[in-house]
C-alpha cells in the first residue's frame, strides 16, 4: 500500500500533468502557433488551468497534506521532503484564501490591461493606460490581502512573493548604498570617449547566428539531450521538468551580439533548471520560483562570465570560422564593445552598470505607489525626474518612459528588484568562486568555464527551492548579503576599461 506521502505525491503528479500541458501550450503559442490558432490555444489553456486550480484547492488536497503533517507520518520524512510538505501547506492555504470569483475577475482584468497597454504603448497614449494601471494596483493590493491576510496587501508582501525573505527595509539599504557608489562611477565613465561600433552592426547570416547560439549554449554547459532552443519575439526559458528545458532566442541581422548575449543569459536560467536534484520532482522544491536567485544565474553567465575578455579567448576560433567577414575584429575590440556603458532610456537595452538605476528607479516608484505617495497621474513626472537624477536624461515620450515594460500592465509589482538582487548575489558568488576555484580570468582563458558551471550546479542548482535566497547566500558565501562585492567588481572592471 502506498504511504500517505506517496498518495500526496501522486495527486500532485496528476495536477502537475495539467500544469505541464499549460506550459507546453504556452511554449507553442510563443514559438509556433499561427495567428488564427491562438483562440483555441487560449481556450485549452483556460480549461486545463481551471482544472489544476480546482484540484490544487480541493478538499482532497487538504486531506492528503494534513495526513502527511501528522507527526507519525511527518517524522519519517527527511528534511527535504518535510520542507516540501510545509511548502505545499503554505501554497494550499494561500490559494484557498483567494475567492474563486475574485480569481476569475482578476485574471480577466489583467489580460485586458495587457492588451490596453500594448496599444497604448504603440500609440504613446498614457491617458488610455492610466485607469487600468490604477486598477491593477488596487487589484494587486486586494490579491495580497487575500493571500497573506487582511492588512497585508502591501508592498512587502509582493517583494516576499517574488523573492522570499526580502522586504523594503533590506532592499532600501542595499540600493541606497549602490546609488551612492554608482552615481559618481557612471558620471566618470560617460565623460570618457566611446569607441567606434561600426564593425558590430555588420549584417551576419541569421542561420549562422543560430549555430553560434547553439555552440555558446553547449560551451557553457547546457545539455541538449535534456533541452531545446527555438525562436520567439522575446527570448525566454521555460521547462516541463528538469529533463525538458526549453529556451528561445531572437535574431537581428545587424546585431549579432544581441542574440549571443540573450542566449548566454537564457542558458544560465536553463542550466539552473536542468540541475535541480531529481528527487524533488513533483514537489514544490523542483520549482525554482525565487526570481532574484534565478536571475543571479542568468546574469552570472551573461555578465560576470560572458562579458569577461577571457570568456571570449577560447571562443574566437569558432566565431571566426562561422563569420569569416568578422576576421578583422579582435578579441579586445569585442570585449570593449560588450562593455560599453551608456546612459539610455530603455532598461532592456542597457549595460550591466546603468541597468542598476533602471531597477532602482522602478523599485522606488513601486514602493511609493503602494505607500500612497505617488499617484498614477504623477507617475510620468516622477519617472522623468528620477531618470534625470540618476542618468542625466529625460524621456520625451511615455512609451520610452513609464510604459516601456510589460510588468506593471500584468500586475507584476515587486518583481523588478529581483533583477538587481541577482547581480548583488553574483558579486558575492564571484568572490567565493575565486576563493574556492582560483582566478576566474585564468579558468575562462583556459576554456574551463564548465568548472564554474559545475560549482554552481553543486552549490546552488541542485537544491532547487529547498533553500530561501538569504539561506543560499549564507550557505554558499558564509556571510550576510552585501553590495560591496558587486561595487568592487564594477569599479575594478570599468576603471580598467575606461582608464578612470
Ligand atoms: Zn532572466
pLDDT per residue as tens digits for the range 133-186: 999 999 999 999 999 988 888 999 999 999 999 999 999 999 999 999 999 999
CA separation for the pair 483, 174 (Å, rounded): 6
What mean pLDDT do residues 492-500 have?
96
Interval 337-366: pLDDT, tens: 999 999 999 999 999 999 999 999 999 999
- Residues that place a CB less than 5 A from ion ligand 1: 298
Q: How far apart are the CA of 215 and the centre of ligand 1, in A?
A: 20
Which pLDDT tens digit goes with each residue over 274-324? Answer: 999 999 999 999 998 899 999 999 999 999 999 999 999 999 999 999 999
Q: Alpha helices of 191-255 — where are they, by DSSP H?
A: 206-220
Residue 192's CB: how many other CB atoms inside 10 A?
A: 12
Task: Name residue, grid cell 558620471.
Answer: 187
For residue 42, the model assigns a pLDDT of 84
> For 168-498, which CATH class?
mainly alpha
CA of 7 to the centre of ligand 1 (A): 35
**Where exactly does CATH 1.10.1370.30 map onto the chain?**
168-498
Is the pLDDT assigned to residue 267 strictly greater than 80?
yes
pLDDT given at position 103? 86
Query: Mean pLDDT of all residues in the chain?
Result: 96
Residue reference for cell 585564468 = 442
The alpha carbon of 179 and the centre of ligand 1 are apart by a number of angstroms equal to 22
pLDDT, tens digit, 9 for 90 and up, residues 477-491: 999 999 999 999 999
- Residue 173 has which C-alpha cell? 539599504
Looking at residue 278, the DSSP 8-state letter turns out to be G
The neighbour count for residue 404, using CB atoms within 10 Å, is: 20
Positions annotated as catalytic residues are 266
139 to 128, 136, 489, 495: CA distances (angstroms): 18, 5, 40, 46
Rounded average pLDDT over 24-29: 93
Q: In this structure, are strands 237-241 and 244-249 parallel, antiparallel, or unpaired? A: antiparallel
Q: Which residues contact 231 (CB under 8 A, 6 or more apart)?
A: 31, 248, 249, 250, 251
- Distance from the alpha carbon of residue 27 to the mean position of ligand 1, in angstroms: 16
| Ligand 1 center to 79 CA (angstroms) | 30
Residue-wise pLDDT tens digits, 75-131: 999 999 999 999 999 999 999 899 988 988 898 898 889 889 999 999 999 999 999
Above 70 in pLDDT, residue 1?
Answer: no
Residues facing residue 228 across a β-bridge: 246
- Burial state string for 333-343 with b = 16 or more CB within 10 A and e = fewer than 16: ebbbbbbebeb
- Provide the 10 A C-beta neighbour count for residue 265: 23
The cell numbers describing 207, all together, are 542561420
Amino acid at each position: 500500500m502506498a504511504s500517505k506521502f506517496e498518495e500526496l505525491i501522486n495527486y500532485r503528479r496528476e495536477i502537475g500533468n495539467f500544469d505541464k500541458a499549460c506550459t507546453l501550450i504556452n511554449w507553442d503559442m510563443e514559438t509556433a502557433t499561427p495567428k488564427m490558432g491562438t483562440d483555441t490555444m487560449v481556450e485549452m489553456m483556460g480549461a486545463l488551468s481551471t482544472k489544476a486550480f480546482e484540484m490544487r484547492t480541493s478538499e482532497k488536497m487538504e486531506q492528503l497534506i494534513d495526513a502527511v503533517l501528522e507527526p507519525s507520518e511527518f517524522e519519517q520524512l527527511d528534511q527535504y521532503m518535510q520542507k516540501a510538505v510545509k511548502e505545499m501547506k503554505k501554497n494550499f492555504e494561500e490559494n484557498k484564501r483567494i475567492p474563486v470569483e475574485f480569481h476569475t475577475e482578476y485574471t480577466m482584468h489583467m489580460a485586458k490591461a495587457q492588451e490596453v497597454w500594448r496599444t497604448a504603448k504603440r500609440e504613446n497614449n498614457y491617458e488610455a493606460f492610466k485607469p487600468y494601471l490604477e486598477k491593477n494596483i488596487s487589484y494587486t493590493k486586494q490579491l495580497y490581502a487575500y493571500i497573506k491576510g487582511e492588512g497585508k496587501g502591501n508592498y512587502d508582501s509582493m517583494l516576499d512573493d517574488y523573492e522570499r525573505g526580502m522586504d523594503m527595509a533590506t532592499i532600501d539599504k542595499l540600493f541606497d548604498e549602490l546609488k551612492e557608489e554608482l552615481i559618481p562611477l557612471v558620471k566618470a565613465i560617460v565623460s570618457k570617449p566611446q569607441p567606434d561600433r561600426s564593425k558590430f552592426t555588420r549584417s551576419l547570416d541569421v542561420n549562422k547566428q543560430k549555430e553560434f547560439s547553439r555552440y555558446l549554449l553547449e560551451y557553457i554547459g547546457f545539455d541538449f539531450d535534456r533541452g531545446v532552443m527555438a525562436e520567439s519575439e522575446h527570448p525566454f526559458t521555460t521547462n516541463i521538468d528538469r529533463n525538458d528545458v526549453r529556451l528561445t532566442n531572437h535574431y537581428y541581422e545587424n546585431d549579432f551580439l544581441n542574440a549571443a548575449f540573450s542566449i548566454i543569459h537564457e542558458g544560465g536560467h536553463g542550466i539552473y533548471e536542468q540541475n535541480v536534484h531529481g528527487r524533488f520532482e513533483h514537489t514544490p522544491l523542483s520549482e525554482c520560483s525565487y526570481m532574484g536567485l534565478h536571475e543571479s544565474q542568468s546574469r552570472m553567465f551573461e555578465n560576470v562570465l560572458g562579458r569577461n575578455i577571457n570568456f571570449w579567448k577560447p571562443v574566437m576560433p569558432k566565431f571566426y570560422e562561422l563569420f569569416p567577414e568578422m576576421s578583422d575584429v579582435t578579441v579586445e575590440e569585442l570585449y570593449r564593445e560588450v562593455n560599453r556603458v551608456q546612459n539610455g532610456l530603455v532598461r532592456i537595452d542597457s549595460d550591466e552598470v546603468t541597468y542598476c538605476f533602471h531597477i532602482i528607479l522602478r523599485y522606488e516608484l513601486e514602493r511609493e505607489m503602494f505607500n500612497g505617495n505617488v499617484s498614477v497621474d504623477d507617475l510620468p513626472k516622477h519617472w522623468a525626474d528620477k531618470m534625470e537624477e540618476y542618468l542625466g536624461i529625460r524621456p520625451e515620450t511615455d512609451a520610452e518612459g513609464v510604459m516601456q515594460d510589460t510588468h506593471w500592465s500584468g500586475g507584476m509589482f515587486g518583481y523588478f528588484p529581483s533583477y538587481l538582487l541577482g547581480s548583488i548575489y553574483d558579486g558575492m558568488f564571484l568572490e567565493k568562486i575565486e576563493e574556492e576555484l582560483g582566478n576566474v580570468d585564468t579558468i575562462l582563458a583556459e576554456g574551463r568555464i564548465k568548472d564554474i558551471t559545475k560549482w554552481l550546479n553543486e552549490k546552488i542548482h541542485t537544491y532547487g527551492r529547498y533553500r530561501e535566497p538569504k539561506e543560499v547566500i549564507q550557505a554558499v558565501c558564509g556571510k550576510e548579503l552585501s553590495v560591496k562585492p558587486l561595487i568592487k567588481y564594477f569599479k575594478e572592471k570599468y576603471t580598467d576599461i575606461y582608464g578612470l
